[in-house]
Amino acid sequence: MKVKILLASVFSSALLMTSCSDAWLEEYKLDQNRPADVPMNVLLPAAQASYGMMQGDVLPRLSCIFMQQMTGNDRQSLAHNRYAQIGEGDFDSPWGLAYAGGMYDLKLVMDKATEKEAYSYRGIAKIMTAMYLGVLTDHFGDIPYSAALQGADNLRSTYDSQESIYGSIAVLLQEGLADLATPSSVSPGSDDLIHGGDLSAWATTATALGARYLNHLSKTSSYNAANVIAACQAALQGSVGAGLAFESSSNQNPWYQFTVIDRDGYIIQTGTMFDMMEASSDPREMIYRGDSASGYFYLPFYGAATAEVPIITEHEVLYILAEAQLASGDAGAARASLEAAIQSNMDHLGVDAAASAAYIAALPSTTDEELIMNEKYVAMYTHVEAWTDWRRTGYPMISAPADANLSDIPRRMPYPEGEYLYNADNVPMPLSSSPDDKFGATSTFRLWWDAN
């Protein structure tokens, strides 16, 4: 009897404890170090920082070497001069910063903004997604988008054609502009690291980006110079200029981190572009690379600790305008736009007025595509646009070094290793492709807008 009472009491108290245990365990279920959900105003700056690193770190170091605006001087960078030691694994970083970093976060911002009717956040998120897609597609061609960013629901995303990615960019920019114009329940402020919550600046940026991506179609049948001119003129109504700034003692500009802190001596600021600048006594040379005593290891302007990674600039839009005006047959307007572009760039760099005036005065009198594109090439130093422009127009006229690993200068980047390892069925190019194919040195694997 006593046994039964005892056992009953022990078991009943145990059962009571068991029934409470779920709630007790539940209190500790979540990681207290990391939130399970966060608001838009911490996702947006994270997505912007990732964008800055994607646009400003691995990719432009390669394309600037391809474009002979810089020269590899040590270790892997030395091999990059010959297009060697560039592997699929090198692109996991920018690809991850985009898809697993900023683009996923922007997708969350869009979802939250829709729910909260915070249309200004949604508009910025759409414009930034277009920025990501633009950089990625101009490097890789076909990329995942419509089936991407779905997490556990789809771990193996299919790829969209570059043509449809360009369509998505246009849609995202248009929708972004529409959202910016819609009354918003809440709007970003200092959490917007690019424009500090200035929605009209975002609208200008979106319009300018629209001009850039329309202009990229110059080799395709859908190119329409009038549309490009209209977009440029619309953008220039505002004050064009977007970039991501950096800090001085840590979190510095990626060029600064590479050339000063982590990889001192890997690259050097020499090459065809600097030869051209020396030939034309370009006043920007000192600003770009300092004097010879520095060894040309550093970038005093674009690689200063706090220097911006430029997203889009007024001079870029003016160059686009000049190119489109020339294409539409208006050489006079093109000349004016070109000179305005040079002036704008030199002002941006802090060249004194006399020097810039002298430089413009010394320009060849004939305004042709080569002149515009060669000038733009110098102005777009450190930016991937120089490579895109070369692929579109063939200017400046440069060729691969004699000892290169490829038959020609690369016209695309190989897909990342992570895609080949874990999403191989969907990658549009076989892993076994020849190096020439991977880098688009053969016409077969050129990007859609570069196809002919």
Partner 1 sequence: MKRSLNLLSLGLAMCFSVSLWAQTVTGKVTDANSGEALPSVSVMVASSGAGAITDFNGLYTIRANNGDVLKFASLGYDSQELKVSGSSLNVALTASLSKLDEVVVTALGFSRDKKSVGFAIENVDGSRISNSGESNIVSGISAKVSGVQVTNSSGAAGAASYIKIRGNATFTSNDNQPLMVVDGVPIDNSQIGTEDLRAGVAYSNRAIDINPDDIESISVLKGGAAAALYGTRGANGVILITTKKGGYGQDFQVSVSSSYEVSEVNKLPQTQKTYSQGYYGDYYGGTSNPFSWGPALSTLGVDANGDITQDSSAAVRWGAPSYDNVGDFFRRGLRRNNSVTVSGGGQRSSYYLSVSNLADEGIIPTNRFDRTTIRLTGSGQITSNLKATASLSYSNSGGYRVQQGSNTSGMMLGLLRTPPSFDNSAGYENADGTQRNYRAGGGYDNPYWTINKNPFTDNVNRVFGYTQLEWAPMDNLFINYRYGLDNYSDVRKQILAKYSRTLPQGSITDEMYSVMETNHDLTARYAKDFGKISTSVLVGFNANQRNRKSVTGYGLGLVIPDFYNMSNATDQFAYESNVGRRLWGMYGEAQVGYDDFLFLTGTMRRDQASTFGNVSTPIVYPSISLGLVVSDMINMDNDFLTYFKLRASSAKVGSEPAFGSNATYFNQASAGSGWINGIGFPFLGQTGFSQSNTLGNPELRPEYAITNEVGAEMRFLKDRIFMDVTLYDQRSEDLIIAVPVAASSGFTSSYINAGSMSNKGIEMQLNGDLVKSDDLRVNAGMTFTRNRNTVIKLADGVDVIGLPWGFFGANQRLVEGEAYGTLYGDDWLRDDAGNAMVDEFGYPVYSSTEVVVGNPNPDYLMGITTNVDYKNFSFNMLWDIREGGDIWNGTRGALYYFGTHYDTEMTPEGVMRGESFVWHDVVAGNSGVYAPGTTIDGVDVSGQANTTQIIHDIDTYAGGPLSGFTGASRPFIEDGSWVRLRQIGMSYRFEDKVLEGSFLKGLTLSVTGRNLYLSTPYRGVDPETNLSGATNSQGADYFNMPNTRGVIFGLKANL
The conformation of residue 416, written as its DSSP 8-state character, comes to P
- Closest by CA to 90, choosing from 367, 452, 418, is 418
* 309 strand-pairing partners: 244
The conformational region for residue 382 under phi > 0 = left, psi -120 to 50 = alpha, else beta, is: left
Q: Please, which of residues 281-310 interact with partner 1 by CB under 8 A? A: none
- Please report whether residue 397 would count as binding partner 1 according to CB under 8 A: no
Q: Minimum Å distance from CB 269 to partner 1? A: 18
Of these, 242, 419, 438, 441, which contacts partner 1 (CB under 8 A)?
A: 419
Please tell me whether residue 405 binds partner 1 under the rule CB under 8 A. no
Looking at residues 344 to 373 of the shown chain, list those that interact with partner 1 (rule: CB under 8 A): none
CA dist 279 and 362 (Å) reads: 12
Q: What are phi and psi of 140, to 5 degrees?
A: -115, -20
Tokens of 6: 């005892």
- List the beta strands (DSSP E) in 354-396: none
Of the residues 70, 71, 107, 202, which one makes contact with partner 1 according to CB under 8 A: 107
Least distance to partner 1 from the beta carbon of 112, Å?
Answer: 12
* Measured distance CA(252)–CA(303) in Å, rounded: 9
Nearest approach in angstroms of CB 163 to partner 1 is 18
Choose which of 418, 434, 437, 448 interacts with partner 1 (CB under 8 A). 418
Backbone angles phi, psi at 244, to 5 degrees: -110, 120
The string of DSSP codes covering 8-70 is: HHHHHHHHHHHHHHHHHHHTT-S-TTS-S---HHHHHHHHHHHHHHHHHTHHHHHHHHHTTSS
Out of 78, 84, 108, 186, which residue is the one contacting partner 1 (CB under 8 A)? 108
21 binds partner 1 (CB under 8 A): yes
Shortest distance (Å) from residue 169 CB to partner 1: 17
Query: Of 144 and 396, which has the nearer Cβ to partner 1?
Result: 144
Candidate ranges 124-132, 240-248, 291-299, 354-362; the one touching partner 1 (CB under 8 A): 240-248
**144 contributes a contact to partner 1 by CB under 8 A:** yes
Residue 308 zone, left/alpha/beta (φ > 0; ψ -120 to 50; rest): beta
Residue 251 CB, shortest distance to partner 1, in Å, is 5
Which of 182, 222, 239, 251 touches partner 1 by CB under 8 A?
A: 251
Q: Which of 7, 353, 358, 397 binds partner 1 (CB under 8 A)?
A: 7
What tokens were used for 414?
Answer: 């190989």
* Burial (CB count <10 Å: 0-12, 13-18, 19+), residue 145: buried
Nearer to partner 1, 191 or 437 (CB): 191
Size of the site for partner 1 (CB under 8 A): 92
Q: Does 156 bind partner 1 (CB under 8 A)?
A: yes
Site for partner 1 contains 4 (CB under 8 A) = no
Residues 65-104 that bind partner 1 (CB under 8 A): 92-104
Does residue number 392 form part of the binding site for partner 1 (CB under 8 A)? no
